[in-house]
């Protein structure tokens, strides 16, 4: 097992397995979350809270532990604005975006918004409006994800790709379901046979000898999607946008917009470096 792999865990019993050294805990019950944080504080990197945002204040996370809250839209964000403006907290939109304000309004109120789980189900034109707001609104003080991670990773030439951002990358991320079965595809994705299971008796991980769906997809890519190999965004997308989907137009448009912004930033940085800093 790779030491840096992160496990998203939907059943705190999985924490009995010492091989899970980096855990994001998923639960709708603050008392379950608090108990798990108390029992394994150093292994829990963060929490994905699935319950009512009203209960966010009951979660006793430690410094550095991230918190991701599910919200339905701008009304809920406004209602809970005070709670949701906390550091290391992101408000996750899971429903398809119905209007740009679904993300723009919470972001303008200082709430970090995460759209990654809604992108594959949302209108590309609405997402482009949100991206434009993120890129060009100078008063924005918080990130809108995954645009921010993509922009900063590309600008600093850090490795990233859409499989990791979408939490579907068995080398880096796995998901433990309530039955202690371990999957590559996050909950909500097309169900697949598990890759591993955690033995409830021994607490050890057993590999079930199956190929991760991402690997199966890549192997078939040259035959099924030959256009990917010549695609200008292949180094970031790596075929994710056509994984169980018919069209990649939405992701392609977003990635083009972000690449354009990265080029403009690099250009500005180069031009700024040409001139000496004026004496104070
Ligand atoms: S954007 Fe589309 S064509 Fe390009 S790599 Fe992704 S899935 Fe393939």
Query: CA-to-CA distance for 14 and 180, rounded, in angstroms?
Result: 6
- Asked if residue 14 belongs to a domain, the reply is yes
Separation between Cα atoms, residue 245 and residue 234, nearest integer Å:
16
Of ligand 1's listed atoms, the one at least distance from the Cα of 238 is: 5
The pLDDT of 162-176, averaged and rounded, is: 96
Q: Pick the residue whose CA is nearest to atom 3 on ligand 1.
A: 228
Please tell me whether the overall predicted TM-score, pTM, comes out greater than 0.75 for this model. yes
pLDDT of residue 201: 87
**pLDDT higher at 79 or 259:** 259
158 and 214 part of one domain:
no
Q: What is the DSSP string of 191-254?
A: ----SEEE-TTT--EEE-----HHHHHHHHHHHH-GGGGG-TTHHHHTTGGGTT-S--HHHHHH
Q: What is the pLDDT of residue 273?
A: 81
| Residues 157, 68 within the same domain | yes
The pLDDT assigned to 182 comes to: 97
Region 20-41: what's the mean pLDDT?
A: 96
Task: Please tell me whether residues 113 and 204 are part of one structural domain.
Answer: no
pLDDT for residue 45 is more than 80: yes
- How far does the centroid of ligand 1 lie from the alpha carbon of residue 229, in Å? 8
Across the chain, what does the average pLDDT equal? 93
Percent of the chain residues past pLDDT 90, beyond the cut: 81
> Which tokens is 158 given?
């850090």
Tell me the best of 231, 238, 250 to mutate to test the pocket of ligand 1, counting ligand atoms within 8 Å of each CB and taking the most.
231
pLDDT of residue 158: 95
Residue 3 vs residue 48, higher pLDDT: 48
Same domain, 200 and 131: no
Where among 144, 164, 184 does a domain terminate?
A: 164
Query: Regarding predicted confidence, which is higher, 2 or 76?
Result: 76
Q: Which of 132, 164, 196 is the last residue of a domain?
A: 164
**Spatial distance between the Cα atoms of 131 and 215, rounded to a whole number of angstroms:** 30
pLDDT digits (tens, 9 = 90+) for 81-130: 888 898 889 999 989 999 999 999 999 999 999 999 999 999 999 999 99
Please state, in angstroms and as integers, the Cα–Cα distance from residue 98 to each residue in 71, 131, 152, 247, following that order.
14, 15, 27, 20
- Minimum CA distance residue for ligand 1 atom 1: 252
- Ligand 1 atom closest to 221 (CA): 8
Residue 276's pLDDT is what?
Answer: 75
146 cis-preceded (ω within 30 degrees of 0)? yes
Classify residue 191: in a domain, yes or no: yes
| C-alpha 90 to ligand 1 mean position (Å) | 28
Residue 80 within a domain: yes
Probe ligand 1: pick from 163, 222, 248, max atoms within 8 Å of CB? Answer: 248
Instruction: Label residue 25 by pLDDT band (50, 70, 90).
Output: very high
Whether pLDDT at 2 is above 70: no
What is the DSSP code (8-state) at residue 2? -
Share of the chain above pLDDT 70, in %: 99
Nearest-angstrom CA–CA distance, 194 and 184: 8
Which residues form the pocket of ligand 1, taking CB atoms under 6 Å from any ligand atom? 225, 227-228, 231, 233-234, 237, 239, 241-242, 248, 251-252
Tell which of 164, 195, 226 closes a domain.
164
In the three-class reduction of DSSP (H, G, I as helix; E, B as strand; rest coil), residue 124 is classed as: helix
Looking at the domain assignment, is residue 277 inside a domain? no
Domain check: are 35 and 90 in the same one?
Answer: yes
240 in any annotated domain: yes
Question: Is residue 279 assigned to a domain?
Answer: no
Model confidence at 226: pLDDT above 80:
yes
**Mean pLDDT on 229-238:** 96
Q: Which atom of ligand 1 is nearest to the CA of 252?
A: 1
d(CA 60, CA 51): 15
29 and 138 in one domain? yes
Q: What residues make up the domain containing 91?
A: 6-164
Q: Looking at the structure, do residues 145 and 256 belong to the same domain, yes or no?
A: no
Please indicate, yes or no, whether residues 58 and 172 belong to a single structural domain of this protein: no
Q: What is the mean pLDDT of residues 22-48?
A: 96
Amino acid 1: pLDDT: 43
Whether 250 and 142 map to the same domain: the answer is: no
120 and 226 housed in the same domain: no
Which band of pLDDT confidence, cut at 50, 70 and 90, is reported for residue 77? confident
146 contacts 114 by C-beta, under 8 angstroms = yes
Residue 210 lies inside a defined structural domain of this protein: yes
Residue closest via CA to ligand 1's atom 8 equals: 228
Q: Which helix (H) or strand (E) holds 273?
A: helix 249-273
Give the separation between CA 233 and CA 230, rounded to whole angstroms: 9
Residue 64 DSSP class: T
- The average pLDDT across 199-220 equals 94
In the chain, the number of structural domains is 2
Q: Which atom of ligand 1 approaches the CA of 255 most closely?
A: 1
pLDDT at 81: 86
Tell me whether residue 99 is in a domain. Answer: yes
Closest Cα to atom 2, ligand 1: which residue?
248
CA of 221 to the centre of ligand 1 (A): 10
pLDDT of residue 3: 54
Same domain for 119 and 87? Answer: yes
The mean pLDDT of 270-275, rounded to a whole number, is 83
142 and 90 in one domain? yes
**pLDDT score for 274:** 81
User: Is the pLDDT confidence value at 279 over 80?
Assistant: no
Average of per-residue pLDDT across 251-262: 97
């Amino acid at each position: 097992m790779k030491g840096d792999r992160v496990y998203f865990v939907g059943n705190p019993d999985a924490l009995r397995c010492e091989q899970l050294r980096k855990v994001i805990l998923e639960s709708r019950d603050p008392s379950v979350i608090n108990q798990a944080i108390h029992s394994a504080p150093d292994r829990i990197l963060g929490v994905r809270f699935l319950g009512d945002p009203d209960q966010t204040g009951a979660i006793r996370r430690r410094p550095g532990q991230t918190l991701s809250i599910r919200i339905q839209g701008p009304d809920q964000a406004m209602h809970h604005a005070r709670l949701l403006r906390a550091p290391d907290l992101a408000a996750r939109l899971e429903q398809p975006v119905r209007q740009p304000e679904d993300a723009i309004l919470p972001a303008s109120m200082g709430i970090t918004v995460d759209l990654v789980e809604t992108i594959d189900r949302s209108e590309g034109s609405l997402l482009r409006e949100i991206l434009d707001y993120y890129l060009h609104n100078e008063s924005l003080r918080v990130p809108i994800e995954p645009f921010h991670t993509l922009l900063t990773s590309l600008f600093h030439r850090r490795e990233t790709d859409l499989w990791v951002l979408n939490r579907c990358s068995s080398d880096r991320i796995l998901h433990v379901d309530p039955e202690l079965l371990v999957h590559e595809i996050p909950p909500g994705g097309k169900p697949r046979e598990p890759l591993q299971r955690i033995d409830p008796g021994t607490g050890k991980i057993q590999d079930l000898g199956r190929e991760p769906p991402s690997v199966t997809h890549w192997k078939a890519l040259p035959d099924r999607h030959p256009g990917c190999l010549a695609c200008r965004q292949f180094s970031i997308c790596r075929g994710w946008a056509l994984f169980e989907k018919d069209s990649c137009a939405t992701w392609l448009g977003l990635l083009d917009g972000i690449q354009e912004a990265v080029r403009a930033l690099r250009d500005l940085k180069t031009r700024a470096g040409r001139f000496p800093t004026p004496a104070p």
